[in-house]
Structure 1
Amino acid sequence: MHRIDTPTAQKDKFGHGKNGFTRGNPQTGTPATQIDYSYCDAIQEEIANVIESKGVTLDKSKHDQLKLAIQQYVIDGKVQLSSATNSTAEDQAATPLAVKNTYDLASLIIDTFRPLDFESVIFSPDKMFHAVVRNDGVVGLYNS
């Protein structure tokens, strides 16, 4: 796309190098901005590309296709919410329910080991993981 650049464009209307339009002024001899084919082609193709990129065929009788295409871009770009506790998706965010369920599961595992005395605890060299063996033979692996 480009800004209007015909000889009758209002120079620097929106800042340096940012031309705009003028309705003209007959009393001062300032002509109204005239548009040319390249400007019209640029606008047409910028809009049509957005609509067609969402798989929509341009329809002369519809005047909301650009709006619908933009709405679809917004919907497609959103991160979906998930209450799954085992999701590996990159485009989903955990809901408060998923966080609570995960916390509850972790608490259940911790509570399983807490009541009894441990027979032995083995740490990984980097202290990130440890295995616990309870006196009754139950084994657990924890991530520190």
Structure 2
Amino acid sequence: MKEKQEKLSLLLENVITELKNEGYDSVALEAKMGSIYEKYRNKPHFIIEEERYGDLGVIVANLKKTVKKTENLKSQYDDLKNNIFSILLDQLRQKVKIEILIPKLKEYLTKQEKLEYKKVFNNQYYYEILDLIENQKEHLKYSEFKEVVT
């Protein structure tokens, strides 16, 4: 019986690593697998003998339905950031030189805690970046003037 329980835990660990590699949330997987192990601890043959019983397939399908994928959130945020960058670059291209605009735009977007399309469409980001760049220009003019005077 101990040997079958060890095979069961090994098999469940393999399933967990496969699902983690597919991008499923590891914390939720660990929690669910703990309860599955407790359920099948006294009857491990239902999972070990995959060909004979379909329990493992049902468990994996159920896990895929209930546990969320984590990579999607990161890739969606990256897509959102890239889209906003492109939109702002197109909007500001006529007003500011690209050499100045691109680094400022990247810096500005990384400092934002939460990026939203509505702030792009109501031009909030647009005016904030313009103010940021104009303040930098005034600061540079003041420092150049100071150098000339001294």
TM-score by length of 1: 0.27
Q: Which has the higher contact order (CA 8 A, sep 6+)?
A: 2
Greater C-alpha radius of gyration? 1
Higher helix share: 2
More strand by share: 1
* TM-score (ref. length: structure 2): 0.26
